[in-house]
Amino acid sequence: GRFSGGTRGPCVGHVCPEAAQGGPIALLIDDDEILIDIPQRKLEVRLSKEELAKRRKSWRKPSPKFKKGCLARYMQLVSSAKEGAVLKANLNEDN
């Protein structure tokens, strides 16, 4: 599993696409209501399509925390967690 054993009860371990990539989770704010349906393997935010569209329109990709050095290079070359967070051979590689 993904967890160290410190988690008890139902737990959502990973959501994709990630917030930094502009996935739906990027649009959430504190106190938004979320439905977690374990048998259906579904997460659903309880917001109208209009509200989500409004938030999507105002969303901006966050600036990178690291602009130089090893961590900046790593951010440029690493794939997403969904893809295993592995290093790409070069910047032009899609996977």
Catalytic residue among 4, 48, 58, 63: 4
34, β-bridge pairs:
45
Residue with tokens 């704010």: 29
- Is residue 27 within 8 A of residue 56, CB to CB? The reply is yes
Q: Is residue 80 annotated as a catalytic residue, yes or no?
A: no
d(CA 75, CA 81): 12
* β-strands 34-37, 42-45 pairing: antiparallel
Catalytic positions are 4
